[in-house]
Structure 1
Amino acid sequence: MFRIFSKLCGNARYCSKILPSLNSNNQSTSFILTKKVHTTKILKDLMEFFDDKKNWGESEVKVGRHWQLDELRIKSNVDLHKLWYILLKERNMLLTMEHECNENMQLFPSPERLDKVKISMRNLETVVRERNRAYHELETGESGERPGQMVTNSLGYNFYYKSCEHVIPQFMNSKWYKTHKFDSSTKVPLKFQLLYREKLYNQKRRAKNRRRNEVMMLLRRNPGLDKNLLQERFPDVDIPKLIQKDKTRGHFVPEIEKK
């Protein structure tokens, strides 16, 4: 009986449960099995994926900022491990609430909460990677990161390719060559690069024209606007040259100074 009792005490499913037994005098007794320490809720259901009910229908939920790198660097590995799962659970809850709000055509309150959680998780991964790199460099003299090299893809652009293990050698693996054709000797990459650079140039040109038109409208509506402050706000716009144009002045005609 003692063996069964000790086995049940180690099982978390039998927490707060009364187990009847019989002693030598055939008198019934009861053992109350409880777990002294627990870190999660006893009753867990699908509502863990949803926000607190008091936040339902609210237009704004007040939350704090994200975890910074300096704050995470002073945490222990155990604390970082616990914090990672807390952030992971919070991210799943926010994604579920966002999807539910979109399905019901409602406004998702404080959508910046999801960005703060993602930034915190990214910072936590950075701290863990720093510690792993420091440990490997101290023990083995290497960074411990996956090795890689700069290669040229099929479109003629260089990127960092991380090496990985393969059962078949590289020169015998035909499937690998079909998915990783790093060959830019044909004319197709040259044509693609030409069209891609043209697209980037058009995007920069349109953005520059939008900034110039914005400055033009500001000068037209506010003739007495500070030119130095405007130049600091738009450093790539030639404001002295833009002032001389008629479109900038609009219906405002400056008076001619008399000699």
Structure 2
Amino acid sequence: MNFLSKYTTCLSAAKSTQTPLRRGLEEFFERGLALPKEHTVTGRAWRAAELRLKSFDDLHKLWYLNLKERNLLSTQKAEAKRHGIQPTAFTNKSRVIKCKKNMARILFVLNERRIQFELAQQALKSQPALSTLPESVKSEIEPASIQNNPL
């Protein structure tokens, strides 16, 4: 079995899957219904440790997925209220809480990254330039591979 063959099958399977194309107001309704009859089973909220492993693009996508989910749930809540359905009979409170937790944790992780980036910039600015250091100090800082292989 070729090393790449298992990855090619995964890629071809991923290309063949399709998501329903919904536009405009349809995105505010779950399965095309203003008030779905059956309860939707959902997973847990993302943990901050899991989100720290995600790229900025993935966090950006997750943010907007959660925002769309919150909008969908707000639409369902407004529809239930408009139809006079009691909040106890029709509630997605756990899903709303998960969305809010996800969004708060994404902001927390992004803020952690921003703080670390600012600290790294400050540390870089406070370090003296290598050109102003004596040769004895340069040899300790620079790895041997850089010293032996001038460009």
- The residue aligned with 2:49 is 70
Q: Which of residues 95, 98, 108 in structure 1 aligns to 2:77?
A: 98
Q: Matched residue pairs, number? A: 103
1:41 shift after superposition: 6.2
Q: Residue by residue, what CA displacement relative to the aligned partner does 1:204-259 show, whole Å, maximum 9, x if unpaired?
A: xxxxxxxxxxxxxxxxxxxxxxxxxxxxxxxxxxxxxxxxxxxxxxxxxxxxxxxx
With the length of structure 1 as denominator, give the TM-score of the two structures.
Answer: 0.36
Gaps of 5+ in 1: 1-39, 142-259
Distance change >3 Å, CA 67–CA 51, structure 1 → 2: same
Cα distance in 2 for residues equivalent to 1:61 and 1:122: 23
Give matches, 1:2-13, under 5 Å.
Answer: none
More helix by share: 2
More strand by share: 1
Moved segments of 4+, more than 4 Å: 40-43
Q: Which of residues 114, 119, 123 in structure 1 aligns to 2:101?
A: 119
1:42 shift after superposition: 4.9
Cα distance in 2 for residues equivalent to 1:99 and 1:43: 21
**Considering only aligned residues, what root-mean-square deviation do their CA atoms show, in Å?**
2.4
Cα distance in 2 for residues equivalent to 1:49 and 1:103: 16
* Matched-pair contact (CA < 8 Å) for 2:73–2:92: no
- The residue aligned with 1:140 is 122
1:52 aligns with 2:31: yes
With the length of structure 2 as denominator, give the TM-score of the two structures.
Answer: 0.60
Distance change >3 Å, CA 65–CA 44, structure 1 → 2: same
Distance change >3 Å, CA 69–CA 112, structure 1 → 2: same
1:108 shift after superposition: 2.4
* Matched-pair contact (CA < 8 Å) for 1:61–1:109: no
* Matched-pair contact (CA < 8 Å) for 1:87–1:121: yes
Distance change >3 Å, CA 121–CA 46, structure 1 → 2: same
Higher RCO (CA < 8 A, seq sep 6+)? 2
Q: Percent identity?
A: 37
Cα distance in 2 for residues equivalent to 1:97 and 1:43: 17
Name the SS of the counterpart of 1:48 in structure 2.
helix
Cα distance in 2 for residues equivalent to 1:79 and 1:108: 32
- The residue aligned with 2:149 is none
